């Protein structure tokens, strides 16, 4: 780890991590045209993954959170509303996704 990071306190690193996560959520919110399947193809994670990670971290810290609440946090709206606003994956997207996941 870099000396600059090593000299930071855990509280400072946690604050930067939290701010970065909030910035990621804002970026995803501002780019709702990017479908989850696009994220899965390119990065092997999507908004659903973030929701599940957020849920798991909350539960690990003793918070009583359900998946719907975690999805609300990540999607910025009810999951059903998000899903209804998204087009079906194209055959090309499905082929690219399937090609990516074959090796996993």
Total-model pTM: 0.85
How many percent of the chain have pLDDT more than 90? Answer: 89
Beta strands in 33-80 (DSSP E): none
Structure tokens at 69: 């609440």
Could you give the CA distance from residue 37 to residue 67 in angstroms, rounded to a whole number?
19
**Residue 96 pLDDT > 50:** yes
pLDDT tens-digit map of 18-41: 999 999 999 999 999 999 999 999
65-69 mean pLDDT: 95
Domain ranges for the chain, please list them: 8-101
How many percent of the chain have pLDDT more than 70? Answer: 96
Sign of CA dihedral 93, 52, 18, 22: positive
Q: At what angle do helices 47-60 and 36-43 cross, to 10 degrees?
A: 80
CATH class for the region spanning 8-101: mainly alpha
């Amino acid at each position: 780890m870099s000396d600059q990071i090593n000299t930071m306190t855990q509280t400072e690193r946690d604050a930067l991590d939290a701010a970065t996560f909030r910035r990621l959520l804002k970026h995803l919110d501002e780019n709702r045209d990017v479908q989850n399947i696009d994220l899965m193809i390119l990065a092997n994670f999507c908004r659903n993954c973030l929701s599940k990670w957020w849920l798991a971290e909350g539960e690990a810290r003793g918070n009583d959170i359900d998946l719907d609440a975690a999805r609300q946090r990540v999607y910025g709206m009810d999951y059903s509303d998000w899903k209804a606003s998204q087009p079906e994956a194209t055959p090309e997207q499905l082929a690219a996704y399937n090609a990516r996941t074959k090796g996993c």
